[in-house]
Structure formats: C-alpha cells, structure tokens
Amino acid sequence: MAEMTIRRFGIFSVAKVYALLMFVFGLIFGVIYGLFFIIFGAAMSAMGGQNEALGGVGSIVMGVAFIVGIPIFYGVLGFIMGIITALIYNFTAGLVGGIKFELEGVTPSYAPPPPPRQWSASPYPSGP
C-alpha cells in the first residue's frame, strides 16, 4: 500500500466538476418544481373564467422558466462554489499538510502470456 497526500487541487477543474454536479441537481429540482407549476397552472386554467385562465398561463410560464432557469442558476452557483472550495482547500492544505490516503495495487486476475522465444537455427543439418 502506498500512502499519498493531496497537497492541492486545480481550481478550475474542481469548479467544472462542481458546476456539472450542481447543474444535474438543478435539472432534477427544476423539472420537479416546473412540472408542479405547470400542472397547477393547467388546473387553474381549466377552472374557467378569464382571471383564472390568466393566472394559469402565468403559472405555466413560471414552470417552464423553472425547468430552464434553475439548472443554469445551479450550474453557475456550483462553478463559483467550486472555485471558493478549491481555494480554501489549497490554503488550508498549505497550513496543515493536506489529506492523506492509501492506495493499494490491484493484481490482474489472469496470468500474463509467456515471454516470446528467440528464433534459432535448427541444430540438425539439412539433408543432401
């Protein structure tokens, strides 16, 4: 087992990973909340009357805006938080030495092929 220490992280690589993770979470939450608003707006529009229909259309538009806007907002927020987190880690790792972890080598479950043999001339003389 080899003991390794993470001394520092690349700031923009951490930020990109945070942004992608937060975008995915934003997509999930945006779809859930957006569908809720769309269904609620459709129900309001179906109740009848001009005022209810206008309120229902506004709710449907808000639902679509949630589906589009929340993932973008979460992605940008994740990028910013990734930069801040990496900067804080790099600063504190410089003070206390970083995170230590152990790596263990993996042995292959198959046997490697035998080494190639060198060609040699036949020791027997060829016929007359």
Q: 97 or 56, which is more confident?
A: 97
Task: Say if residues 45 and 56 touch (Cβ distance below 8 Å).
Answer: yes
Task: Say if residues 83 and 9 touch (Cβ distance below 8 Å).
Answer: no
Copy the structure tokens of residue 5. 């220490």
Cα distance between residue 92 and residue 86, in whole Å: 10
Angle at 22 between CA 86 and CA 65, to 5 degrees: 140
Q: What is the pLDDT of residue 115?
A: 84
Predicted TM-score (pTM) of the model is 0.70
Structure confidence by residue, pLDDT tens digits, 101-125: 888 877 777 777 888 887 777 667 6
Q: What is the pLDDT of residue 125?
A: 66
Structure confidence by residue, pLDDT tens digits, 57-85: 888 888 999 999 999 999 999 999 999 99
Task: Say if residues 39 and 61 touch (Cβ distance below 8 Å).
Answer: no
